[in-house]
Amino acid sequence: MTSKFDFCPWLYWDHATDEDRRAQESHLAGLRARIAVEASEKVFVSPLAAVHADSLRMGDHSYIAAHAYVTDTLVMGDDCTLNPYAVARGRVVLGDAVRVGAHTSLLGFNHGVEPDRPVFRQPISSKGITIGDDVWIGSNVVVLDGVTIGAHAVVGAGAVVTKDVPAWAMVAGNPARPIRDRRTGSRPGGDLEGLLAAFADRARDQAEAVLARCWTGERYVDRPDAPPTVRAWCDAVEIADLLLGGPPPVPAREEIVAFLRDRQDPATGLIPEIGAPGSPERTPDQGGGGPEDSGGGPELEGVTAYHVLCAGYALDLLGTGFQHPVHAVHDLTGKDLTAALDALDWDREAWTSGSVVDAIGTGLYRNVAGFGLRGDLETLYGWLTTRCRPSHGMWGEPDSDAGWLMVVNGFYRLTRGTYAQFGLPLPYPERAVDTVLAHARDPRYFHGDTGNACNVLDVIHPLWLAGRQTAHRREEGEAWARRHLRRALGGWQDGAGLSFALTGGTGAARLPGLQGTEMWLAIIWLLADYLGLSGALGYRPRGIHRPEPPPGLEV
């Protein structure tokens, strides 16, 4: 038998009869008999709600309405509501005065999606959902595992919340993004949203011209008169996907796919540069043989290793993949992998060392996703976890000449190919943020007209990645991001794109080209997303800098 309190529980405390109260006390007693319940005297749980939690804690004047579905662990502070048909699963913690609308799902768990077994047989992980005080969540909202919603926030009806929501933010949409500040009513970023939208429109309008400028009729080059490179083809694919929503206009998609797939060395799975030993252009009498010719084992540094990233993701965007596994990575035993990582010069060459880990991590992914070859992921992550420095959250140490430059740059490369690519949490996110912000204040790299795409990327990606776990020093990080976002938005050159270095002077780094354009498009998205403004761009990276692990990659 239903009552008005099942669907309108807020009426219970003022309108319940003695009989209603006895029925509620009996129902709560039955709950306590089968699950761990810690509740104040002034709570209401509808008998029509499916409460199958391991533990339930409810504060004063909190209620669970009819047909709500509760499992695992739910903590509700005072004055909290779970309205009809709402769902709370996994570990969900609500502060005081949290209002959860009807048909909303708080999903504090997730399935793995590896390709080796059906999804329903995958292991389940749970980071949990935490919601601060005085939060209003509208109807038909979905909040995903790992999200923290700050105090006083408002989540609009129908939103899909995939990342943390700052305190006082009003968010809406799929994915949810800030629309205004609850305290002031101001839109986030002031005029930045308009600048972002205008930049993206300008870039989209000129994307075909930017690409045509770098097409020789036979090859892509980074800029006119530059030599042809594998990376130029990959940058063209990434730019076209971001701005045009598909492959480059020329040549035909099938020709681009054939060019990239045919360059892979079947013995190592690596992709040499155009004209280098082992490339299709070199005949055996010109010094054939693959990238492993040097006798020191497979080359996992430099441009050949970077091609594992850029060519692999370019092929993803074109709807295909490598012809061969990356044997240079898969063939490493746990012992060999550990020895290779130990042999890297982490104290003096942390950037190079981090790039090697990036290539290894990405090679492992390519083998899992394309060929079902798992490789030794456990050894890789075991090594990284035990070697990360708790004092600063990174690998390697600063030096008197370059400061934190090599360490922070290496951290970006290492974490991009491992923690970010596989969707795993950083070991010491707060300490990493401290280190990145210390580096971001170094006037040798970030002052006036200094700086380039690598240096800005190597700061914003770690801030963005760590920001998914912690709000530590967020205000300081956002101030840095706003400053560099405004500068980057002014760097577009009509018909040519962006240069690698947005500075005055001469030299190749200051000439617009495909590499600079591809990198800055991704950097601008990361800067904007860190500020909650990326929706204004109308594009979202799906290649090297995609903001979520590719399907089937979570470990």
CA distance 19 to 16: 8
- Cα-Cα-Cα-Cα dihedral of 300, 306, 307, 310, to 10°? 150
- In CATH terms, is domain 4-181 a member of 3.90.320.10? no
Quote the mean pLDDT of the chain: 91
pLDDT, one tens digit per residue, over 184-219 is 776 665 688 889 999 999 999 999 999 999 999 999
Would you please indicate which residues are annotated as catalytic (active-site) residues? 111
CA distance 21 to 26: 9
Query: Which sign does the torsion angle of CA 440, 385, 312, 242 carry?
Result: negative
pLDDT exceeds 70 at position 226: yes
Topology of domain 192-537 in CATH is Glycosyltransferase (1.50.10)
Share of the chain above pLDDT 70, in %: 94
Q: Helix H segments across 64-215? A: 192-213
pLDDT exceeds 70 at position 291: no
Show the tokens assigned to 206. 């000129």
| pLDDT value at residue 28 | 94
pLDDT, one tens digit per residue, over 384-437 is 999 999 999 999 999 888 999 999 999 999 999 999 999 999 999 999 999 999
Show the tokens assigned to 530. 């860190």
pLDDT exceeds 90 at position 114: no
| pLDDT value at residue 285 | 57
In one-letter notation, the amino acid at residue 240 is A
pLDDT exceeds 70 at position 289: no
Q: Report yes or no: 228 and 219 within 8 Å, Cβ to Cβ.
A: yes
Higher per-residue confidence, 508 vs 379: 379
Please report where in the chains the tokens 């709600």 appear, as a residue: 49
Q: How does DSSP classify residue 399? A: B
| pLDDT value at residue 292 | 43
pLDDT, one tens digit per residue, over 260-287 is 999 999 999 999 999 988 888 875 555 5
| pLDDT value at residue 293 | 40
Strand pairing class (498-499; 160-161): unpaired
Of 41, 39, 5, 42, the C-alpha closest to 20 is: 5
pLDDT, one tens digit per residue, over 125-179 is 889 999 999 999 999 999 999 999 999 999 999 999 998 998 999 999 888 888 8
Print burial letters for 24-42: b (CB count within 10 Å at least 16), e (below 16): beebbeebeeeeebebeee
CA distance 208 to 110: 40
| pLDDT value at residue 295 | 33
| Maximum CA extent, the chain | 97
pLDDT exceeds 50 at position 40: yes
CA distance 477 to 287: 50
Confidence grade of residue 297 (pLDDT, cut at 50, 70, 90): very low
pLDDT, one tens digit per residue, over 312-360 is 999 999 999 999 999 999 999 999 999 999 999 998 899 999 999 999 9
Domain ranges of the chain: 4-181, 192-537
pLDDT exceeds 70 at position 509: yes
pLDDT exceeds 60 at position 98: yes
Higher per-residue confidence, 250 vs 448: 250
- What is the arithmetic mean of pLDDT over 83-110? 96
| pLDDT value at residue 449 | 64
Same fold, 4-181 and 192-537: no
| pLDDT value at residue 551 | 66
Q: Helix H segments across 245-326? A: 253-262, 302-317
